Amino acid sequence: MNISVYRPGELTAADRAAWTALQSRAVADGSPQLANPFLAPEFALAVGRCRGSARIAVVREDGEPVGFFPYQRTPLGVGRAIGLGVSDAQGLVHGPGFQWDARELLLACGLSVWEFDHLVEGQKPFETGASGSYASPVVDVEQGFGAYLATLRKQSPKFTRTTLAKERRMSRDLGDVRYVHDERDPDVLRTLVGWKSAQYRRTGRSDRFARPWISLLVEQLFHTRTESFAGLLSVLYAGDRPLAAHFGLRSRSVLACWFPAYDPSFAKYSPGLVLHLRMAEGAATGGLAYLDLGRGEKAYKDSLKTRELSVSEGWVTRRHPVALGHRIRRAPVRALRNTVLARPELFEPADRLLKRMGRIREGG
């Protein structure tokens, strides 16, 4: 392999176009997971503007780019998936049948280890380092919203009936309810961020938007629009008042769900669930194939999904003391977290404790 490493902003227009072309071909070649917008050059460029550690390895054969590997690197050579912690799809974007050697790639990138938590399917050279695989629910809308709604009525009849009834009640009680699939008002984005931050605090979770680089990244992506990629803000209104909103990323075929939130004063109407149904309708109208709801077990995801993808977490390493030390530090933390998440008898009391702590913080 002929591998060159660049900062994201150093990629040529030709390389960016080749990267996008590989993603477009992936759908036809039976690897639609590579068309995820988190694997797009636009996402890597945005992270690069927020994080100086971002890099892109370009793999070439006969002078032509055949693979793109976005990552982040510490000065000691510890590598992480680009945007680790907020990215819901990770891996090397490549053409059909392309094979690579993971350790050779790490060596060329100056990495002793590369850590991932949302590795997409089909990345066999990296999958050898996976410590676990997890479901990422999907909403299929390629056959149109009517077909999806019919499927939903069969598999989740009570959920569908109740959610649509709440939407009608919302209209009666609050006035004209309307949905904007692609809202361009940055003030509404700020409203969403405020809701999401409050939700994180209320539930005892770490507030992602308290990290300046994540806030900057979302703002960068909101203003990023190309033919094959866009930051998409979708909003459910009652009159001129937003009730629920979602910010995610769109490629030509996938809407990656990312930051949903709603005004808790209207919780009895389940505006977040109504919003997701309208997002599915908007995605179908826009010709997308599916919505990726992201890794993580949530009741609303189980009700909305039509199937599941699989993503993996773990790390690949070279023989290096830094790689060993990183794994010793990180493995117990990941194992404990995944044990709690996978076992209801542990997760539920932990979740209640976090929410109680969140209420105490809010009260203070």
pLDDT tens digits, one per residue of 298-348: 999 999 999 999 999 999 988 655 555 556 666 545 544 444 444 454 445
Give the pLDDT of residue 28.
87
Whether 150 maps to a domain, the answer reads yes
**Domain for residue 147, yes or no?**
yes
Radius of gyration of the chain (CA): 21
**243 within domain boundaries:** yes
Q: Which pTM value belongs to this model?
A: 0.89
* Mean pLDDT (whole number) for 6-19: 97
Would you say residue 197 lies in a domain?
yes
For range 109-130, the mean pLDDT: 95
Q: What's the mean pLDDT in 255-280?
A: 98
User: Residue 221 pLDDT > 50, yes or no?
Assistant: yes
> 141: burial class by Cβ within 10 Å (0-12, 13-18, 19+)?
buried
CA 17, distance to chain mean position in Å, is: 22
Secondary structure (3-state) at 205:
coil
| Nearest in space to 351 (alpha carbons), one of 203, 216, 243 | 203
Alpha helices in the chain (DSSP H): 13-28, 41-50, 102-109, 124-127, 145-155, 157-174, 186-202, 212-222, 271-285, 299-304, 321-342, 344-363
Closest residue by Cα to residue 69 from 3, 136, 18: 3
In angstroms, rounded to a whole number, what is the distance separating the alpha carbons of residues 338 and 352? 17
Tokens at 249, concatenated: 């990323």
> pLDDT tens digit string along 61-90?
999 999 999 999 998 899 999 999 999 999
Structural domain count of the chain = 1
So what's the pLDDT on residue 318? 84
> Does residue 205 lie within any of the structural domains?
yes
Average pLDDT, the chain: 90
- CA proximity to 160, closest of 17, 300, 360: 300
Instruction: CATH number of the domain at 203, please.
Output: 3.40.630.30
* In a domain? residue 84: no
Is 87 contained in some domain?
no
pLDDT confidence bin for 354, thresholds 50/70/90: very low
Rounded distance between C-alpha atoms, residue 68 and residue 22, angstroms: 9
For residue 274, the enclosing domain spans 138-309
Residue 76 located in a structural domain: no
The fraction of the chain above a pLDDT of 70, given in percent, is 87
Q: What is the mean pLDDT of residues 168-196?
A: 97
